[in-house]
Amino acid sequence: MDKTVLNVNKLQTEFRMRRYTVYAVNGVSYDIHPGEIVGVVGESGCGKSVSQMSTLRLVPSPPAHIAGNAVYEGKDLVDPSNAEYLRSVRGGKIAMIFQEPMTSLNPVMKVGEQISEAIRLHMKLGANEARARTIELMKKVRIPDAEERYESYPHEFSGGMCQRLMIAMAMSCDPDLLIADESTTALDVTIQAQILEMLRDVVRETQTALLIVTHNLGIVARYADKIYVMYAGSVVEYGRAADIFTAPSHAYTIGLLNSVPRLDDDKDRMLMPIEGFPPNLQSRPEGCAFSARCTQKLPECASCSEFPLKMVGDGHYSLCINDHLDRSQRRSDTLFEAKRIPDETLLEIRGLHREFPVKKGILFKKTVGKVHALNDVNLRIRRGETLGLVGESGCGKTTLARSILGLISPTSGEILYQGTDLTKLDKRKTREMRKDIQLIFQDPFASLDPRMSIGSIIGEPLVVHKLTSGKAEYLKRVEELFIMVGLDPSLRDRSPHELSGGQRQRVGIARALASEPRFLVCDEPVSALDVSVQAQILNLLERLQRELGLTYLFIAHDLSVVRHISDTIAVMYLGRIVEKGDWKTLCKNPMHPYTRALLSAVPIPDPEIERTRNIEAIKGDVPSVSRLPGGCSFHPRCPYASADCAAAVPELRETEPGHFVACPVADAIRGAKSQAGSAE
């Protein structure tokens, strides 16, 4: 391991905009060796992507100005005089895979052509040889029918397959280094696991160095050998993966680890968010960039101007000058007082179906099929509880939420709220009911009117439902709401774009609370947020539930978040509930093969656990809801599927009190697994 593939030294990138400068990368150094998997983690905007793109000069310049060097094979790639050389390296010896696989491929060019283009360019092969090599690569990344699919266009592939094509493209010229920038973030967890497993196998086999850029600590714990933690454009700590997780030596790393919910938390742990927000980097951070949010600050931290990398262990370095960091916080359980949930039904969903016609055509739309978005959904939510609904994209979560809110009407079935069927209410009654049932959106950016001040956004429901009499009462109530969600009332005149993502989500919550609802539907409320801010919002939701006696339907694709906040969990797959039960039973004793796959696909931010965990990777993509597989919809991907599975839709049956599973052979599978487990 003495040979380095790439050696990056004091890299600096700043974007000199007309009115201000963004100091995106401030002196980043790292090196990477053949066959090594390096993880770069940090929150959004901390310069992870810009530092990778700067080494290949892929940032738009101007406005970007890059300094420092990135040495590959003895030549500095950052040096403009090596531009010609850099071009021959780019996509050849150093290749990148980006976040959005669907948009990263040219929509009007055959995918095979796009891959062979790079091969012809870098390997100087003829058209036929390049084609043969492309097909071989497509087979390697497990694209079925590679020969025929060569001629296909990107829109004919799913997101996961596009990403595999991108990997094939990146691997096409036997690179020495592969940079995967959030390359699985946009994908469903089961697909993410598939892709990452494949990527790891490929690089191990070819001794390619792999650099994974991600904000997901679980992923680096599972795959990385070495980890670089970035904050505000600098590497604040780096070392072997195991050391970073067992002995984090920078207050930021510790904060990060404390704020993520984990699948293996043994108790109802209260998350420890990092208060405040990352700096906007419009001035060069002086001293310790983290000091404004640091809870372990020393008096010296403010006065000290030099923060040299200091060795804290073998190959483990940190910028933090506090030698006595408190790491114990990581597991400290500031337990909420256990919730007591009465056995009283607040909302009950019975036999809910929703079909959407699939229309195609430009002028004369024609119904060519239908999507069964909700298929016989039955759920019961008790007063005061949180029901977590998980499932991959397109499985019908949002359709369910919108049905409850009366935004779409179901094809059949009942939604009983305190005994009244919401689907049968007229417009006026529905509007009245909306006071009681409120929605928190996924995207705090899109859901707030940019022309309104946040004070009037929060106060709007008060006016609409005529809940306050008089100006004074209105203002008082708005202020109350601000304080309730932890927003400074002096922000009231700002407009939404002047707030951070977390603050915006607080505004969304305050607005939802204005009409004193009893039931909140939270549709992916934290998925657009950074982990440290996500923890703030999750804690806020939990606190509000206790204080105001709220009931939540909490929808998310992230199982560790759902597990953290929910009392009961329902797992959805292609419009059906496949398993439900209280959180503990469901997570400890998952029965349905899909739930099991989902759980094992979620990486846990702990390398020790990850190393011993055995991943039940499932094959294939999520089928389109418009072409539902018959019988158990999961059977094309299920490792335990038998002929019976394709024949009949399995019923949801109770395997133990309160635990329902829609798979007839679930017990047998579990039994076999645990026996195999104990035999080992």
Partner 1 sequence: MTQYIVKKIFQALLVLLIVTFISYLIMELIPGDAVDFLLGLEATPEKAAALRASLNLDKPFIVRYFMWLGGLFRGDMGTSIFYNDSVTNILVKKLLVTFRMGFAALIISTVVGITLGVVSAVNRGGFWDNLISFFANIGISIPAFWLGILFIILFAVKMKVLPVQGYTDPSADFWLHTKQMVMPVIVTAVGALSSMVRQTRSAVLETISQDYVRTAREKGLRERAILIKHVLRNALIPILTLLGMQIRVLFGGVVIVENIFAIPGMGRLLVNSVFNRDITVVQGCILIMGIVVIIANLLVDVSYGFVDPRIREIKDVA
Nearest distance, CB of residue 440 and ligand ATP, angstroms: 22
What tokens were used for 605?
């931010």
Between 333 and 372, how does the x/- string for binding to partner 1 read (CB under 8 A)?
---------------------------xxxxx-x-x----
Residue for token pair 């601000």: 482
Regarding 15 and contact with ligand ATP (CB under 6 A), the answer is yes
Q: Which of residues 477-516 bind partner 1 (CB under 8 A)?
A: none
Regarding 42 and contact with ligand ATP (CB under 6 A), the answer is yes
365 vs 673, beta carbon nearer partner 1: 365
> Which ranges constitute the DSSP H helices of 28-177?
48-55, 83-89, 111-123, 127-140, 146-149, 159-171
Q: Which of residues 545-604 bind ligand SF4 (CB under 6 A)?
A: 592-593
Q: Which of residues 35, 58, 376, 631 is near partner 1 by CB under 8 A?
A: 58
> Which ranges constitute the DSSP H helices of 514-631?
531-548, 559-565, 583-588, 593-601, 607-612
Residues 230, 233, 235, 236, Cα dihedral to 10°? -80
Element (H, E) at 23: strand 21-32
What's 510's DSSP letter? H
Say if residues 213 and 529 touch (Cβ distance below 8 Å).
no
> CA 630: distance to chain centroid?
30
- Return the beta strands (E) in 310-382 as ranges: 310-313, 316-318, 345-360, 366-382
Q: Which of residues 601-640 bind ligand ATP (CB under 6 A)?
A: none
Regarding 44 and contact with ligand ATP (CB under 6 A), the answer is yes
What tokens were used for 354?
């929703």
Between 22 and 51, how does the x/- string for binding to Mg ion read (CB under 5 A)?
---------------------------x--
Q: Which of residues 189, 281, 349, 522 is near ligand ATP by CB under 6 A?
A: 281
- The 3 state secondary structure assigned to 139-156 is HHCCCCCHHHHCCCCHHH
Total count of residues recorded for the chain:
680
109 vs 646, beta carbon nearer ligand SF4: 646
Instruction: Quote the CA–CA distance of 491 and 505 in Å, as a whole number.
Output: 14
Q: What is the CA radius of gyration of the chain?
A: 26
Candidate segments 43-51, 125-133, 560-568, 652-660, binder of ligand ATP by CB under 6 A: 43-51
Nearest distance, CB of residue 3 and ligand SF4, angstroms: 34
Regarding 57 and contact with ligand ATP (CB under 6 A), the answer is no
Between 464 and 503, how does the x/- string for binding to ligand ATP read (CB under 6 A)?
----------------------------------------
Task: Compute how many residues bind ligand SF4; rule: CB under 6 A.
Answer: 27
Q: Which does 89 bind (CB under 5 to 8 A by kind): Mg ion, partner 1, ligand SF4, none?
A: partner 1
Regarding 617 and contact with ligand SF4 (CB under 6 A), the answer is no
Task: Compute how many residues bind Mg ion; rule: CB under 5 A.
Answer: 1
Q: At what angle do helices 159-171 and 127-140 cross, to 10 degrees?
A: 130
Residue for token pair 């790439």: 6
What tokens were used for 332?
């400290």
Q: Which does 349 bind (CB under 5 to 8 A by kind): partner 1, ligand SF4, Mg ion, none?
A: none
184 vs 375, beta carbon nearer Mg ion: 184
Burial 410-433 (b: 16+ CB within 10 A, else e): beebbbbbeeeebbebeeeebeeb
- Return the beta strands (E) in 161-267 as ranges: 177-181, 209-214, 226-231, 234-240
Q: Which of residues 60, 74, 126, 450 is near ligand ATP by CB under 6 A?
A: 60
Nearest distance, CB of residue 451 and partner 1, angstroms: 26
Candidate segments 88-96, 160-168, 319-327, 334-342, binder of ligand SF4 by CB under 6 A: 319-327
Q: Which of residues 603, 635, 655, 660 is near ligand SF4 by CB under 6 A?
A: 635
88 vs 334, beta carbon nearer partner 1: 88
Q: CA angle at residue 61 from 55 to 65, to 5 degrees?
A: 65
Element (H, E) at 300: helix 299-303
- Return the beta strands (E) in 186-269 as ranges: 209-214, 226-231, 234-240
Q: Which of residues 541, 641, 655, 670 is near ligand SF4 by CB under 6 A?
A: 641
Say if residues 206 and 19 touch (Cβ distance below 8 Å).
no
Instruction: Quote the CA–CA distance of 119 and 126 in Å, as a whole number.
Output: 9
Candidate segments 248-256, 400-408, 530-538, 622-630, binder of ligand SF4 by CB under 6 A: 248-256
Regarding 48 and contact with ligand ATP (CB under 6 A), the answer is yes
Regarding 329 and contact with ligand SF4 (CB under 6 A), the answer is no
Between 156 and 195, how does the x/- string for binding to ligand ATP read (CB under 6 A)?
--------------------------x-------------
Say if residues 660 and 592 touch (Cβ distance below 8 Å).
no
The amino acid occupying position 573 is Y
The amino acid occupying position 471 is K
Q: At what angle do helices 251-259 and 531-548 cross, to 10 degrees?
A: 50
Regarding 297 and contact with ligand SF4 (CB under 6 A), the answer is yes
- Residues lying near ligand SF4 in the complex (CB under 6 A) are found at 250-252, 288, 290-291, 294, 296-298, 301, 320-322, 592-593, 632, 634-635, 638, 640-641, 645, 650, 663-665
Which residues sit at the interface with partner 1, rule CB under 8 A?
A: 56, 58, 87-92, 95-96, 98, 100, 103-109, 114, 117-118, 121-122, 153, 155, 166, 169, 360-364, 366, 368
The residues binding ligand ATP (CB under 6 A) are 15, 22, 24, 42, 44-50, 60, 63, 182, 215, 281
